Amino acid sequence: MFPYSLFINMKRILFFLPFLFPSLLTLAQSNPKLNNDFSSDDSTALLTIASYPDSVRTKTLQACQKLEVLVNIEVLQKITSQSFKDIVSNYNKDEQRKLWNLSRQPNLIYEIVGGGKKTKEELEEIAANYPGEFNKIIIDEGKKHYEALVEIYKLQANSQREFEKILADYPPPAQKTYRSLIKHPDVLNTLSTNMHLAIILGDMYKSNPEKTVKMLDSINVEHNKQSAKDLEDWKNGLEKNPEAKQEMEQAAEEFTKENHPDDYYTDDIYNQGTPLEYIDESIYTNPPTDYTDIQPYPYWFGYPWWYDYPYWYPYPYWYNLGFYWGPMGIVYLGFPSPYFMHWYFYSPYHHYYYSHFSDYTIGYYQQHYGPRYQHTDFNAEVYRWARINETHLPNGYFKADVQRPERIKELGKFEMDYHNSTKGVFGRNMTRPEFLQNNATYYPHISQVINQPHFNAPINYPQQQSTTRFNMQNNSISPQHGGTLRPR
């Protein structure tokens, strides 16, 4: 049953928000330097907003005029997303994936549950109106998990009613803006996680709408020009560094198998149900299709818990990799997505096995992360990782020299080994300095900070949802990958 009591608590919270929010607006209005004083995180988010289509960008600026609405619906979103997770938590990950995908299609769940439980024939009739990859899911889940789908539908309906209550006291233009942005959960996520920037933009747009729009237009145009040049640098650098390129492809295979299993085995989901053909086992003969109408996970339910990076649109693997395999080798389509870079950099396993690719990516970031507004999501992920972790390491650990790949590999090994030491390998948990003190000879570069207090703070590697792929038995690490990406 939908937790109505949570909405009562939410309303108590919302009652106080209008009294707190004006202080934030006053801050923006009373400090004119804010309009030009963007932090690095602000700049990354600003570039994201500038990259939206014109219509979405305009609605985003309009939404910044009524940010208290954003704060209110974010509270509602946290409640509904947790309720959704509670409903699907009774099933395994594969079943949860199916239920989450059904929720992406507007009105689909209502079609399945409305009027009572459906026969197989009725479900087949519904499925015929949706993309091919949903056909089997609709039929299977409509029969097996009808009761869960009923609860999900109730949650959808209640969320929409509470949303309309939040909007009720606002003028029609503001209501229209937020109703539209609900269909763009990534936009609302960008604003809610960058409230400092949202306040600045709201103040700028209120004072001078035309100038603010021109600013975003200019950022977008300049970024597109610079990105084309930067992408050429990225491609040419990889072609001159075969070790890094090979490791990138190996990491890409691992990423695809772990995060896009359907693509990995058949790759028919994003080719209208038609399997790709091959020249041999490792290369595609058909380029991928540029799908632009992929439905996001609904804002009210959030993105699946197994992603530790905001991932609203389940794009195909090649979108995240920035390339696909063609008859003559890889074909570059763009930069790896921030989702791929987050997955890659926040796993010590990757730095151990793919240290040359890590070295290349860090070097590229160091050469291309400087100009204002060029803080792309791709570079931003590397920047955040380096900014967080560099303070825990010896000075110059990421300095560009011939030993950097080895230092990166050593860092990956240390993190994996220490991680396993806390699982009882040595019979008790150890602090980081203790573990380093006992094994200093294995980590000659890191051991330089063995007596520095800050080293006891953990290197920031978020918990990955995938199975741990390393062990410390006999001081060895065994990879569970190999070969070239190819459907089975």
Percent of the chain, pLDDT > 70?
A: 74
pLDDT, position 35: 43
Instruction: Compute φ and ψ for 278, nearest 5 degrees.
Output: -135, 150
pLDDT digits (tens, 9 = 90+) for 241-292: 999 999 999 999 999 888 877 665 444 333 433 333 333 333 343 445 555 5
Contacts 24+ apart (CB under 8 A), 403-406: 403/445, 404/359, 404/362, 404/363, 405/355, 405/356, 405/358, 405/359, 406/355, 406/445
Assign 30 a pLDDT band (cuts: 50, 70, 90).
Answer: very low
Range of weakest confidence among 26-35, 62-71, 87-96 = 26-35
Of all helices (H) and strands (E), which one includes residue 353?
Answer: helix 348-353
Domain ranges of the chain: 4-91+145-218, 241-488
pLDDT, position 236: 95
DSSP assignment, residue 374?
Answer: -
pTM: 0.73
Of all helices (H) and strands (E), which one includes residue 368?
Answer: helix 355-368
pLDDT, position 428: 59
Identity of the residue numbered 230: D
- CA–CA distance, 180 with 174 (Å, rounded to integer): 10
Could you tell me which residue, 291 or 439, shows the higher pLDDT?
439
- CA–CA distance, 434 with 439 (Å, rounded to integer): 9
DSSP assignment, residue 424?
Answer: I
DSSP assignment, residue 276?
Answer: P
pLDDT digits (tens, 9 = 90+) for 209-225: 999 999 999 988 988 88
Q: Residue 315, class by beta-carbon neighbours within 10 Å (0-12 exposed, 13-18 middle, 19+ buried)?
A: middle
